[in-house]
Amino acid sequence: MRKLYIFFIAFWVSFMTIYSIYYYKVKNKLDQSVVAMAKDLPHTVFGFEAVNDSDKNMIFTEGLTQVIPSSSKGYDSLVSPVPDADFVSFNGTYTKQHLEKFYEGLVTKFQNHPPLEFKNLKDSAKLLLSYFFENVRLPDGFRVSASPVDFHGKKVRALQYHHQYTSDTGYVSFYKNDQDQEYVLKVKINDGKEELIMSSCQGCGSWQIAKAKSDSLIKSTPRYYITNKESVLVPELDFNIAKDLDKNAIPTNPDYSGYSLTEERIKFKISPPKEGGPIEANKAYNTPGNFVMKGNVLVYIREVGKKTPYCLIYIKHPEILKPAAK
């Protein structure tokens, strides 16, 4: 009996050691980006900012409004529907057959996506889900910067663009207004079918002002060709945020009434080219950033030929940015 007890203790210690290593390895992987519920991010809102949200980050796609079109009234002219390749939704009753169909679409578009858990739900309960995923792969000329950006008092990781090849200029355009410290970086993505715009404005309070100034700078100012002694630093974006429906908001959102579970999730990442790419071989690799985007930063993606974007991110606080290594 004593030997059995010793064996059990030894087995338990070994198991907990292995589990601890696994747990902290997984936790460390999650901590590499912001993985959170929206309610745990006090300075970030999903959807257009309200009057009392004027000093918060804003993350907006059509999301739930795309699943229930009637709830998007008033916003149709501001944001385009999310392309089907980046979007999975579910609006129906909770049955095995319906969930299997949803999972089929989810894993087809987003391979290796972890399973979702729905607790305390009965058959025929109504579900409303909206998932938007975007992993922007930037062209050559970008890398993770060795130098961080000081964003509103916090050191955050940065991406750095340093012109290296003539071909880069076909994918990347830079515009600047030094007097007002306004900068815009426009990058062609997804084989040139879409464009990512990142702009920085020191005096822009709202996203509407920031976007208007960004669009104006792109249209009215000739692009600035960055020399081989210059570079641009932008805060790195990589987050996974889920928002549960606020049950208290149902009276003001009648379209959501009657649903047992409503969730909107946005997973967004901007990645430099694969490690070991051509930029690693250039001696100008450590060129400091001459143009640093550290005012309020607006990020939006739109399909070429469309005036309105399908994704808007306006950053005023660093809580959705990756902190720089200490």
- List of domains in the chain: 34-136+238-269 (no CATH), 137-237+277-320 (2.30.39.10)
First to last CA, the chain: 51
Euclidean distance between CA atoms 65 and 80, whole angstroms: 11
pLDDT digits (tens, 9 = 90+) for 87-122: 999 888 888 888 888 888 888 888 777 767 777 778
What is the average pLDDT across 14-31? 41
Write the burial class of residue 219 (CB in 10 Å: 0-12 exposed, 13-18 middle, 19+ buried): exposed
Of 118 and 162, more confident: 162
Residue 47: closest CA among 241, 247, 233, 285: 241
The single-letter DSSP state of residue 76 is T
pLDDT at residue 8 in the model = 52
Q: What is the pLDDT of residue 23?
A: 36
Q: Give residue 183's pLDDT band: very low, low, confident or very high (50, 70, 90).
A: very high
Name the percent of the chain in helix, strand, coil, to the closest 5.
30, 35, 35
What whole-number percentage of the chain has pLDDT above 90? 26
| DSSP 8-state assignment for residue 169 | G
pLDDT class of 31 with cuts at 50, 70, 90: very low
Buried b (16+ CB within 10 A) or exposed e, 97-121: eebeebeeebeeeeeeeeeeeeeee
pLDDT of residue 276: 40
pTM to 2 decimals? 0.81
Question: Regarding predicted confidence, which is higher, 228 or 135?
Answer: 135
Q: How far apart, in whole angstroms, are the C-alpha atoms of residue 196 and residue 135?
A: 12
pLDDT in tens, 208-219: 899 999 999 999
> What is the band of 252 on the pLDDT scale with cuts at 50, 70, 90?
low
Q: Is 153 exposed, middle or buried (0-12, 13-18, 19+ CB in 10 A)?
A: exposed
Query: Cβ neighbours of residue 22 under 8 Å, at least 6 residues apart?
Result: none
Nearest to 85 by CA among 189, 10, 169: 189
Residue 45 scores a pLDDT above 70: yes
The radius of gyration of the chain's CA atoms, rounded to the nearest angstrom, is 23
Dihedral angle computed from the Cα positions of residues 32, 38, 40 and 44, in that order, rounded to the nearest 10 degrees: 90
Mean pLDDT estimate for the chain: 79
Cα angle value 264/266/271 (rounded, 5°): 175
> DSSP letters along 221-259, please?
SPPP---TT--EEEE-BEEEEEEE--GGGGGG-GGGTT-
Tell me, what DSSP letter sits at residue 278?
G
Pairwise pLDDT comparison (88 vs 253), residue with the higher score:
88
Give the span between the Cα atoms of 256 and 247, in whole angstroms: 9
pLDDT digits (tens, 9 = 90+) for 266-315: 999 998 876 544 444 445 556 677 899 988 999 999 999 888 999 999 99
Using pLDDT thresholds of 50, 70 and 90, give the confidence band for residue 79. confident
